[in-house]
Structure 1
Amino acid sequence: MSSRALRRLERQRETLASEEAPEVDDEVEYQHPPQQQKAKKNLFALIGDNSDDDVDDHARDDTDEAVKPEPMKVSLPTKSQKRKNKKKAKAQVAKEDSEDDFDKVLKEYGIEPEQAIDTTQELDMDEDDEDDTAHFILDPSFRFFTPKKQVRCAKLLSVDTKDLDPDNEFKKLFGKLSQEAIDDANSTTSTSIPPEDLQKIRRMARIVRGWGGRDRRSIPGTTRKLVLTKIRDDWIPTQKKDMTMEELTAREIVQDRLSTSEDWIDVINNDVTTELKYGIKYYKFERGEDSKMANSQFFASVVLRPNHEAVAQLLGRYPYHVETILQVALILIRQGDKSNSNGLVERALFAFDRAFKQSFEIGNGLSRLPFNYYLNREFYLAIFRYIQVLTKKGTHYTAFTYAKLLLSLDPSEDPFGVRYFIDFYACIAGEFQWLVDFVNSALVKTYTNWYTPGLAYSCPLALLSLGKHKEAKEALQRAFVAHPYTGYKLLESIGLADDIPVNDYSVFEVGPEIEATTTAYLLQAPAIWKNAQDRTFLHDTLLEFIRSEIALDNTREKNGLIPNNFIRFAILSDEGKVMAKIPKEWWEENEIFEYDILPPKVGNVERLEDFIDDRIMNSFTDDEHLMEMVRNMSLQELIDNAPHD
């Protein structure tokens, strides 16, 4: 019998023994006869010695005489403790059963379970054996974006957590602010609230010890500080977290990739092992069973029977339910109430912020949140919404920092298409050298699809701003060869002369992807190509390339499908011109819900429907069916079916 089976059998025996033990209502202390305790070791005798057994005999004898025996206290478990122990034992047995099933899969591929995750292999970070080829096919496993490349690019995606606070950017813009001004700004509510309700919340905050603190970043029950948000006066004080964060085990990561990848299990296993050794960690957000009521009511009010008022009422009952918060914020934006909507987005970020695990290093560029987990997707959505809030406030450097953070959470998938807009924020924030380094890194060069029109044509602008005109011309030529259609359209939109051959781009076969991504960049381009000298350079250089027919043999301009990450970006940006480029057939084939736009279709994918109460859903379904029957009945039928005394 294997050691795992023996451990499981032993736990089952302990569970049965605890069930048969007599019930004890209170914790009882038993006084045992005095026993001689184990000698305390002389710490000085251990210096320079790794062995616990080789302690000097004389030191041991002296210590034994010095230590007096004390009565040992033994406590029996209470009823509640027994129930908890029983649940833990059953959960452990179920976990080990699933591990046994996974071990069988490993053995089918000739991999011993004990060797599945080998952590003894040494890795050489200095070895330079990486492939610098730009690969045309974006494989699902992102095989060419190796762990070594990810680690080398981590610095480009790392952020200083101080830069996540827009107040610090305001200080740089307007000079040093007094502490009174900062405190006054922080004390403002994030949403409009009646004064009497605000007084009640403040009284509650005094009761909940550790709520906020002087820096407004303290969390009850922990010494960890908030990173993304500051607690506002109108936020309901509570010690209970609405969610938690868990670090994924190597086994869980392998299982997730097996559900989506076509690679062999030994290849996946080796990749995961290598990533973990390089310090790349994977996390997911989780909620407890008590959230099913809020999830169910939200689902019913948004999907089954859409009702804005019902969603707004849910916010009063569940003030930190992130789906409700973000949905109400979106409703307020469409009603023109931007101030209150901005505050709600901050509150949604707070719900995630207080759930961060102590080991979660949010700014190191190596912490990952897989997109297949439902609450991870909600965190992506909250960050994207907050970037929009920061843009409206004019804090572009903070928005740029959040864009880096959003990309760092999954640089391979890039679920919200950060590569389609981060160049805009880098240029607006004046981070020109960062943009050049980013375009020349494996984060862009590994796959041709990662070299987006925005990155391609903004890089020459960054080089011009750095005074590197020769490199700027070379970068513009590279951009035009990769995206000639975008170059023609860019001349058409911000060109300086009447002799622009705008019709020449008809020679290229332009599909939905090229047309949509070009349209998205052209909406941003005028805001960054503002300098007259830069425009002249763009005009003259592009005309030179066009006349030399440098890009006529281009093969990248194909009739490709629009990537899902760009579609998410387009929908969330709410740009009509961009969404109009998405084919009509796509809208007919896909159902879009704004709380979870385009979840993955392949693999172990969590959805909101997985975390709702079926009984509540059945009641809503029955009620809807009844209302449909009533609508279809005639007046006489309603009278005939009405109850009579």
Structure 2
Amino acid sequence: MAEYFKFAGDHEMSSDAVAKSLYALECAWHPMFTVFQGNCQLKIRHETNKPMFTSLFTHVKNLDRRGCHRSALEVCKLLLSLDSDDPMGALFFIDYLSLRAEEYTWLERFCESYKNDTSLWLFPNFSFSLSICRFFLEREEPSKVDNVDATRANSTDLLKQALMLHPLVLKRLVEKVPLKEQFWVHILEHSFFLPAQTGIPSLDHLINLYVERNYIIWRIPYLQKFLRETAQLVIEALETDQNDAKDWTCVRKEAFSSEKNEYAHLLVSDFSDSLSSAPPEALQDFVVDPRMRDVQNIIQHANPPDHRQPTHEIENRSALAVLFESMLPWVNYGDDVGVDEGNQFDEHDDH
């Protein structure tokens, strides 16, 4: 029903249906299943667990659209903890929610500690989001910043690293945000930012996910200035030493070595802010169980529908009312009106 209301354009009812679905699923939990301890998992490979994942993911998006970014972040953490394989792609949503909720320090700690693996920064979303985290932390007063290590790389170095590793992101951001100033044209004319594809299916898909989800963050004017100045620094560095570009190309190919798109199950539309809808005629059979359509066809074949208009009774009615009603084009008194009465008169005549 949530999907039906969404495509019908009634997003409030859709959100309400998702909330009811989550309540029903929560009522079905085992008493020992406690999500707050972080040690309980549900594997999506079990068919009965899939509604929990789809409902939680939809709930995250609904909370985000309502501006409840901190709540959406907490639900996203829960979604990520339920299955270590991350079937819904929560990893590619959580950085965006952290930035919107201003949880900059938490995101840095998360990238360092997640699965004891420090390679999260290789993903496009984390490489750029970490630079934004550091950028905002540097802008805060030192007394308000907790647990900030002065030995960390600064925001400019992190963004340079992100642009060197994923230069295609800059072109996609300029198109999506959009950034229409003339200096962006000159920057994108550089050979390093010129290619339209990376040639790596998985990476191209992840870049599309990142740009579709996070482009709105780059609409902040001072972040655009930060991006422009850092892109110019990258160009200056490449003009001095071309080996840097080759080194980062090797890192990129080694990190995303598969020739197949390993993230094809994650749809770009699921990470989009745009709200899709469907025309009314496409919604007529939306909630019909496909297994019932064959049964309906058999019933219709055995009992073909009568396309005649329903007849109106005229017995014991005012003659004047019937006269005016008969002028209406949709009124039908039946083709056999009076036939039975005529037959009765014939029978009386025979006697």
Alignment TM class, shorter chain as reference = 0.5 to 0.7
Q: Find the partner of 1:415 among 75, 79, 87.
A: 87
In 2, the alpha carbon distance for the partners of 1:574 and 1:375 equals: 27
Contact 1:332 1:338 in 2 (8 A): yes
Partners of 1:573 and 1:531 lie apart in 2 by 20
State the one-letter code of the partner of 1:551.
A
Partner of 1:378: 51
Q: Structure 1 residues 445 and 476 mapped into 2: Cα distance closer, same or farther (>3 Å)? A: farther
Gaps of 5+ in 1: 1-327, 577-593, 596-611, 632-645
Deviations 1:440-492 (A, max 9, x none): 234484556x8421111011001111117952123223323432222443356
AA aligned to 2:56 is I
Q: Distance in 2 between matches of 1:344 and 1:467?
A: 42
Write the mapping of 1:105-254 to structure 2, written as runs, cut at 5 A.
none
Q: Does 1:466 pair with 2:145?
A: no
Alignment match, 2:104: 432
TM-aligned CA distance change 1:574 to 1:535, over 3 Å: closer
CA distance in 2, matches of 1:519, 1:509: 12
C-alpha distance in 2 between matches for 1:630 and 1:572:
43
* 2:30 counterpart of 1:341: no
Distance 1:363 1:562 in 2: 34
1:406 to 2:79 alignment:
yes
Q: Helix, strand or coil: the match of 2:138?
A: coil
Shift of 1:628: 7.6
**Structure 1 equivalent of residue 245 of structure 2:** 551
1:512 offset after TM fit, Å?
A: 3.6
Alignment gaps of 5+ in structure 2: 140-151, 239-243, 275-285, 305-351
Paired amino acid for 2:138: G
Question: What is the distance in 2 between the residues matched to 1:562 and 1:451?
Answer: 16
Judge which range, 437-446 or 370-379, deviates more.
437-446
Contact 2:96 2:213 in 1 (8 A): yes
- Alpha-carbon spacing, 1:548–1:621, altered in 2? closer, same or farther (3 Å): same
**Taking structure 1 as reference, are residues 502 and 432 closer, same or farther at Cα in structure 2, changes over 3 Å only?**
farther
Mapped partners of 2:54, 2:172: distance in 1:
31
The whole-number CA distance in structure 2 between the counterparts of 1:543 and 1:551 is: 15
Task: Give the C-alpha shift of residue 503 in structure 1.
Answer: 5.5
Could you list the per-position Cα deviations for residues 65-105 of structure 1 after superposition, in whole angstroms to 9, with x for gaps in the alignment?
A: xxxxxxxxxxxxxxxxxxxxxxxxxxxxxxxxxxxxxxxxx
Distance between the aligned counterparts of 1:332 and 1:474, measured in 2?
A: 46
Give the corresponding residue for 1:142: none
* Structure 2 residue 204 is the aligned partner of structure 1 residue 515: yes
User: Do residues 532 (structure 1) and 221 (structure 2) align?
Assistant: yes
Structure 1 position 569, deviation (Å): 4.5
Residue 502 of structure 1: how far off its partner (Å): 4.1
Cα deviation, residue 629, structure 1: 9.7
Instruction: State the alpha-carbon separation in 2 of the partners of residues 333 and 622 from structure 1.
Output: 28
TM-score between the two structures when normalised by the length of structure 2: 0.64
Instruction: Tell me if the contact between 2:164 and 2:234 (Cα under 8 Å) persists in the aligned partners.
Output: no
Q: Give the structure-1-normalised TM-score.
A: 0.37
Letter in 2 for 1:532: P
Query: How far has the Cα of 1:360 moved from its partner?
Result: 1.6
Looking at structure 2, the residues matched to 350 and 500 of structure 1 have their Cα atoms a distance apart, in angstroms, of: 51
Q: Determine if contact 2:73/2:94 at 8 Å carries over to the other structure.
A: yes
SS at match of 1:388: helix
Q: Write the distance in 2 (CA, Å) between the matches of 1:372 and 1:400.
A: 24
2:261 maps to 1:562: yes
Change (3 A) 1:628 1:441: farther
| Amino acid paired to 2:260 | L
1:506 deviation in Å? 4.1
Query: Partner letter of residue 501 of structure 1?
Result: L
- Asked whether the equivalents of residues 460 and 475 of structure 1 are also in contact (C-alpha less than 8 Å), the reply is yes
Amino acid at match of 2:245: A
Identify if the C-alpha distance between structure 1 residues 623 and 336 changes in structure 2 by more than 3 Å, giving closer, same or farther. closer
Distance in 2, Cα, partners of 1:351 & 1:451: 38
Q: Are the aligned partners of 1:417 and 1:569 in contact in 2 as well (CA < 8 Å)? A: no
- The letter for the 1-side match of 2:223 is D
Q: Does residue 1:456 correspond to 2:127, yes or no?
A: yes
Q: Residue by residue, what CA displacement relative to the aligned partner does 1:360-412 show, whole Å, maximum 9, x if unpaired?
A: 2212332211111112111000101111221222111101111111111113x
AA aligned to 2:41 is R
How many Å apart are 1:348 and its aligned residue?
0.1
Give the conservation status (yes or no) of the 8 Å contact 1:484–1:551: no
Maintained 8 Å contact 2:98/2:104 = yes
The Cα of 1:547 is off from its aligned counterpart by 3.6
What residue is the counterpart of 2:231 in the other structure?
542
